[in-house]
Amino acid sequence: METETAVDELEVKTLPPGNDPAEALLEALDHGKDWWRHVNVAFDEDRQKEWWAGLSQADRAHWLLGRLWNCTDILGSMYHGEITDRDPWQEHKHVLTVAALVRLLAKELKVRAAA
């Protein structure tokens, strides 16, 4: 249950100005299937940097997805494939928001963790 505690503590962390979580996610997705290994967020405070450094890659990905869970920003057309390629059930074929992508990515992480 160590992971749950770490993820619960993540909610109190805030990003410094100019650090867009959606942009951090899209940059991570540029790395392909293992996008979650490349989540990078820069914090200003030393204690936040230390906290971030102590997280696993999966915890970092879960934290970022949680920050974006309700994000209604529309994805640019170059990222529409990120949804259609990950959505064999076509649950989100007409919803091209960051939140729709985040929900699909969360499903992928859950399946990966169960394997």
pLDDT one-digit tens code per residue, 49-104: 999 999 999 999 999 999 999 999 988 877 777 777 776 666 666 668 899 889 98
The answer to whether residues 44 and 14 touch, using CB atoms and an 8 Å cutoff, is: no
pTM (2 decimals)? 0.76
Helices (H), 33-78: 46-53, 57-68
**What is the number of residues in the chain?**
115
